[in-house]
Structure 1
Amino acid sequence: MDIKQLEVFVAVAKHKSFSKAARELFLTQPTVSSHIQNLEMELHTVLLNRSNKTITITDSGKLLYNHAIVILNDCKKALYDIKEYSGKIEGSIHMVCSSIPEAFILPDFLNKFCYKYPNINFTVNHCDSNLVIPEILSERATFGIVGSKTKHSHVDYYDLIDDELVLICPKGTNIENTDGFIDKSKLKDLIYIMRKEGSGTRNLILKTLQSVGINIYSLNTRAIVESNEAIIEMVKSGLGCSFVSKVSVQDMINRNEIDHYYIKDLKFVRNFYFLFSKKKIFTPTENKFLEFFKEYYGITLLDDDLK
């Protein structure tokens, strides 16, 4: 049993896919299969069930996986300590974000972090808020930033920054308003472009409107769209109106390219959250990132969370 075999096994177990593991490790799929077969022969046990299209981990595989994570992290720590001793801090960090954090929160932070640690690189994947937890728990990603909170006993959430949604409309819509505030009764007269189900933005819209007896499904919705950027462009072109994060359209508002409104007696306010698995054993590089992140945003983490 060698380190490469363990690395391949962990990658297959995380992705539940030989092909995805091969892409991550820059190996061919036959090479990945060969490593797994040799490891199983050496240990005289089956680590992965391959009988169905979906790969599952056997009980023996789960046992090895826990040990393999510790072994690989120890190897990474050894390399990190040696490189740190020689004055070079490097490594890789995997993150997952919903659309607004990915586009409007993370870039500025990463720019400052990479200025201080230029040899640390990142993989940042996008997915809806409700899909971030599976990515974190499967260790396909170490850290996440999302716009909605789903309680889970194995995940720690920390408040990051506040966000506010505004109603944006094509320029010249001219809805009856008082200092930019419109009555909620006017909402039924508009045509909407909505985010798809699962996004933190849509969840906030749904809950806020429900609180005043408005069913989101009763509104005249012309399109359901995945991308926040696409929605903004559709509104700008005159296709309809939408509720979007104010931070994502502030520049357009400043340039007077779209109309925007608030709703009387309604506040579309949420937090963005930073999260990670309680079970995750951080590498030194990940710890360095976590320390910088909490200092940058003023987040207070318990000492246990850094172990």
Structure 2
Amino acid sequence: MALNFHQLHIFYTVAERGSFSSAAQALHMTQPAVTMQIQSLEEYFGTKLLVRSTKKIELTESGKALFPFALKSIELMRETERSMSRFTYMLEGRLQLGASLTIGEYVLPRILGPFGQRYPHISIALKVMNTTQIIEDIVNHQLNFGLVEAPVHHPDLISDPVMEDELKLIVPAGHPLSGRGQVSLNEVISFPFILREKGSGTRQVMEDELLRKGIEPQEIDTIMELGSTGAVKSAVEAGLGITIISPSSIKHEKALGLLEVVDIEDTFFKRQFYSIHEKSTLLPVSAVTFLTFLREIKNPQ
């Protein structure tokens, strides 16, 4: 018998999850099949790799020695797929992914068209939901991966940066700051704001930059907090205040002359979008291809 990547992947998943049944679920295998592959691997090395304790599976000394090599093999396979995906144009498959609200509603729709033209045989089923729901569906194997606006800290998931975004000051037509091109931060904070709710990724990016500039978030005259970017846009368009959101979300309103993007001197509300997927599950090549395509886009705006 020859050593193969499939067995190392199974061993890593069992060790990472501490359970044959949990590993079988993640790998879409039966538990006896997982057990058989581990036994074959142990026969190949001539040593016990895993032992059952009262609560979970634990690594033996030889298992602990093998674990980092199994991890390296998975990382190498992922890197190989990422590198080769740009040369693969006849892929087929159906991707099931989740995206947080801003990404799913405003960023991906403009990207899916060009991707579909390059890879016409890959179909995408997109769910737009909050990050908590995306995590739950990935862990329960309902989604291949997710796209979110902040890194996720979860023991079973990997977060990888895929795209950059930058929030900008948005003002309504006819506002005192419109037509200025660039304004000072001190001018900006003298006007009333309409913001996303506390805890949203957009709000957090804005507040972090203000703190970096020495301005406490409570100094902002926030007259309204709304739970969606669409609601914020409507309120700003109605002349109720100004806001800081992604310019990708106001393409239509900007084209109609209803809203305007204004730069703030020496102030940058930059953020990173992330992909998340299970540590123990290798993404299909079609998913790796899609993520590689996203990384080639420097800025989704």
Does residue 294 (structure 1) correspond to residue 292 (structure 2)? The answer is: yes
Distance 1:149 1:268 in 2: 17
- Residues 105 and 73 from structure 1, CA distance in 2 versus in 1: closer, same or farther, beyond 3 angstroms? farther
Contact 2:93–2:286 (8 Å) recurs in 1: no
Letter in 1 for 2:248: V
Alignment counterpart, residue 95 of structure 1, candidates 88, 94, 97: 97
Does residue 70 (structure 1) correspond to residue 47 (structure 2)? The answer is: no
Matches of residues 105-124 of structure 1 in structure 2 within 5 Å?
Answer: 105-114=107-116, 116-117=119-120, 120-124=123-127
Aligned to 1:126: 129
Contact 2:196–2:202 (8 Å) recurs in 1: yes
Deviation at 1:247, TM superposition (A): 1.7
Q: Which has the higher contact order (CA 8 A, sep 6+)?
A: 2
Distance 1:295 1:274 in 2: 12
Aligned to 1:162: 164
For structure 2, the 5+ residue unaligned runs are 1-16, 32-89
State, as a whole percentage, how many aligned pairs show the same letter.
21
Q: Deviations over 1:242-265 (max 9, x none)?
A: 101012223433432123322222
Contact 1:184–1:264 (8 Å) recurs in 2: yes
Deviation at 1:151, TM superposition (A): 4.9
Aligned to 2:211: 210
Deviation at 1:205, TM superposition (A): 0.3
- SS of equivalent to 1:265: coil
Letter in 1 for 2:127: V
- Residues 207 and 136 from structure 1, CA distance in 2 versus in 1: closer, same or farther, beyond 3 angstroms? farther
Distance 1:259 1:114 in 2: 31
Aligned length: 222
Could you tell me the TM-score, scaled by structure 1's length?
A: 0.60
After alignment, is 141-150 or 219-228 more displaced? 141-150
For structure 1, the 5+ residue unaligned runs are 1-58, 75-86, 300-307
Q: CA RMSD in A?
A: 3.4
Letter in 1 for 2:24: H
Q: Deviations over 1:95-127 (max 9, x none)?
A: 222222112332244345556455745141321
Distance 1:142 1:208 in 2: 33
- Residues 73 and 173 from structure 1, CA distance in 2 versus in 1: closer, same or farther, beyond 3 angstroms? farther
Distance 1:66 1:165 in 2: 41
Matches of residues 207-246 of structure 1 in structure 2 within 5 Å?
Answer: 207-246=208-247
Contact 1:90–1:117 (8 Å) recurs in 2: no
Deviation at 1:159, TM superposition (A): 3.2
Letter in 2 for 1:64: S
- SS of equivalent to 1:64: helix
Stretches of 4+ aligned residues off by more than 6 angstroms: none
Distance 2:27 2:92 in 1: 21
Q: Deviations over 1:214-267 (max 9, x none)?
A: 122232212211211221111101222110101222343343212332222211
Could you tell me the TM-score, scaled by structure 2's length?
A: 0.62
Distance 2:252 2:123 in 1: 31
Distance 1:150 1:223 in 2: 28
Distance 1:171 1:119 in 2: 41
Deviation at 1:184, TM superposition (A): 1.7
- SS of equivalent to 2:277: strand
Distance 1:276 1:258 in 2: 36
Alignment counterpart, residue 146 of structure 1, candidates 141, 144, 148: 148
Q: Deviations over 1:121-153 (max 9, x none)?
A: 51413214x765455445443212222234556
Contact 1:173–1:259 (8 Å) recurs in 2: no
Q: Deviations over 1:67-102 (max 9, x none)?
A: 23324599xxxxxxxxxxxx99554x3322222211
Distance 2:231 2:104 in 1: 15
Distance 2:96 2:108 in 1: 13
- SS of equivalent to 2:189: helix
